[in-house]
Structure 1
């Protein structure tokens, strides 16, 4: 089959799929925060394994840390723009899949350049008072609704949502609705069919805000207002609204999962909980870095397509093949981490792939770290006797999602 026809047939197959086949679900599944055994079994066959074949297109799964890092860094051999394969571009602009993660150079640099000045260390340092205020407000809310609360709702979601709203200069929004939309956009139980529908709501909301700001500036000082003022002449409403949507979604959904799952892990490791209470920067950094490795809520990176034949680990990937990097698997690679299945901050090291790597590394990675350090230390100090308020077997985690999370985390404040 000619390449163009195969690409078209593959797109139709992917966008019309009703469910992810059981045999290829395991990179998107967990047992609590632990990867399912099949992921380790795949690594035993090699750092790179043949994962699936779709209409003649081979799909490879990378689980080894070194190979994952190499693939993520290689934007010459691999393309990120797979929108023609997994997104129907005949949809309305707000419904089309895209964002920084699915663009290549030069478009990627052009778009990322809009955001980069707002995520420098100096700009982020200016956000610390806002982060402190949002965290304290969430803790006060927990105390007001105690002695038992759902930490996911009262803390895990509230903190990153409040921080990202402040960063963007967002008007008041229905937080419960946005929480549901965010989770649905990463849910693959119906093969991703809901991703396009739920994306339209938040993306269109932000596109409309950008359009209104362009007509008559009225937003408070924040990223949205600055993007329109500084770049409105060079980018249309869909482009700026899409960038804001990426910041908004990435800024709260992954951090919300990280805070909630991270707290659940910490409640099982009192030594680390005490380290957070002490608040020594070095100890706190080690706990946070180990949580990022161990929890790693973003389970797979954006898929890559090989531009030409290229060696990947011990395999040879052909032009047009799809390569999927398991960030969970890379973080649990025993060749990189001694006793990789155990949470141990004393062995924490730099170089986590939880935020990706290379050209497409998450632009908000340092902001996420700031939130984690601030929120977890404050939580441990305010509620030193925090404890799970249900049997662990009662917890319900996402079944099949790009971003792993826990639905509820009932806790006693003590």
Structure 2
């Protein structure tokens, strides 16, 4: 009898940038396979790029976490994580309320401010101890400062929201601890929104208060949206900065290429390739079928869970030749690191811009940057929904 493989699967020792071998083997064998989750449920795992894009854009596929059959990565807790785990039309209604600040034009207007944040933090890094932990000294403060500025959240509270967001995204956290962290963040954002209802500013949360006054949004809904954007706005980019730096340090030819260029097109290409190569949202996007769906020679029945393993989708050799090679000159713009379809990541223009500023500045300003420990000593975030490193000791 064939054993149903567990998901998520373990990465190979010494290969921290590559998807788990067991999932790569499934990709080679079949486009759709059953996998076993923590609760013994056996949803479908889609491993190939083309099928993933089809399913992510199929209206018969639901992102609603409350539907029976949804392949939750952990025991469900009460409450909602705003519109990302909803379907249209409610998903579209709420998402439209926060779209404007993330348009390319608005994000580009923020570039000089982000450049100053990056340069100031590098100044502090160079003036501080050597070696240093790049995560706490640089990778985490950059996106935290940016998202705080965008949302109107006091950066002085960053320890509080970073600690609680770490609890929420850790797979091994108990449901009780997740509920407590979620409640703490919700109360914090609700109080902050209350202050902005009385005295609004020019930030995104103040913009949501106009929706509250108009009766389009409740204060609780606005708080949930704030929690989502606060967590997503710093966790993902922080991990991409640190993990991307480590990947480049382990590929010195590619690091040299990036450090020595002044071509913004090559910098943009490097960002897309690192997003494809690393894919930090490494536990797949979760969905459930609303109707029977025939795809890749199989029928996914209504009510069956689906996991889109986008990390291996981004390593599909049918789309990205020699996919396990990091090549900053590759055209990787078709990657699915930000998802696809109506739930594609809202903040991707901001993430791209931040990474472009970081990757074009850090290695040029600190050309001798190097890993201050052995790669085998670096502790990776295998236990979280966002992949990265807990610390990155660097020297120069």
Shared fold by TM > 0.5? yes
Partner secondary structure for residue 245 of structure 1 = helix
1:229 aligns with 2:210: yes
Root-mean-square deviation over aligned CA pairs: 2.4
1:185 aligns with 2:171: no
1:110 aligns with 2:93: yes
User: Closer, same or farther in 2 for the Cα pair 1:207/1:304, shift >3 Å?
Assistant: same
User: Closer, same or farther in 2 for the Cα pair 1:34/1:58, shift >3 Å?
Assistant: closer
The answer to whether the 8 Å contact 2:76/2:175 transfers is no
Partner secondary structure for residue 221 of structure 1 = coil
The answer to whether the 8 Å contact 1:27/1:300 transfers is no
CA distance in 2: counterparts of 1:89 and 1:346, whole angstroms: 42
1:163 aligns with 2:146: yes
The answer to whether the 8 Å contact 2:286/2:307 transfers is yes
Tell me what 1:314 maps to. Answer: 297
Instruction: Judge which range, 396-405 or 382-391, deviates more.
Output: 396-405
Alignment match of 1:32 (pick from 16, 30, 40): 16
CA distance in 2: counterparts of 1:191 and 1:64, whole angstroms: 32
Shift of the alpha carbon at 1:47?
A: 1.6
Unaligned runs of 5+ in 2: none
Partner secondary structure for residue 347 of structure 1 = coil
CA distance in 2: counterparts of 1:63 and 1:180, whole angstroms: 33
Partner secondary structure for residue 288 of structure 2 = strand
Give the structure with the higher percent helix: 1
User: Closer, same or farther in 2 for the Cα pair 1:340/1:172, shift >3 Å?
Assistant: closer
The answer to whether the 8 Å contact 1:27/1:326 transfers is no
Aligned length: 386
CA distance in 1: counterparts of 2:390 and 2:39, whole angstroms: 36
1:329 aligns with 2:312: yes
Instruction: Judge which range, 173-182 or 295-304, deviates more.
Output: 173-182
Unaligned runs of 5+ in 1: 1-20
Alignment match of 1:62 (pick from 25, 29, 46): 46
CA distance in 1: counterparts of 2:248 and 2:76, whole angstroms: 43
The answer to whether the 8 Å contact 2:47/2:309 transfers is yes
Shift of the alpha carbon at 1:195?
A: 3.2
CA distance in 1: counterparts of 2:145 and 2:88, whole angstroms: 32
Tell me what 1:388 maps to. Answer: 371
Alignment match of 1:261 (pick from 243, 246, 255): 243
User: Closer, same or farther in 2 for the Cα pair 1:161/1:53, shift >3 Å?
Assistant: closer
CA distance in 2: counterparts of 1:53 and 1:328, whole angstroms: 18
Partner secondary structure for residue 346 of structure 1 = coil
Shift of the alpha carbon at 1:211?
A: 2.1
1:273 aligns with 2:251: no
- Normalising by structure 2, we get a TM-score of 0.91
User: Closer, same or farther in 2 for the Cα pair 1:373/1:78, shift >3 Å?
Assistant: same
CA distance in 2: counterparts of 1:52 and 1:200, whole angstroms: 30
1:123-173 deviation per Cα after TM superposition (whole angstroms, max 9, x unaligned): 112211221121112112211213211001111101000100111111243
- Normalising by structure 1, we get a TM-score of 0.87
CA distance in 1: counterparts of 2:55 and 2:324, whole angstroms: 23
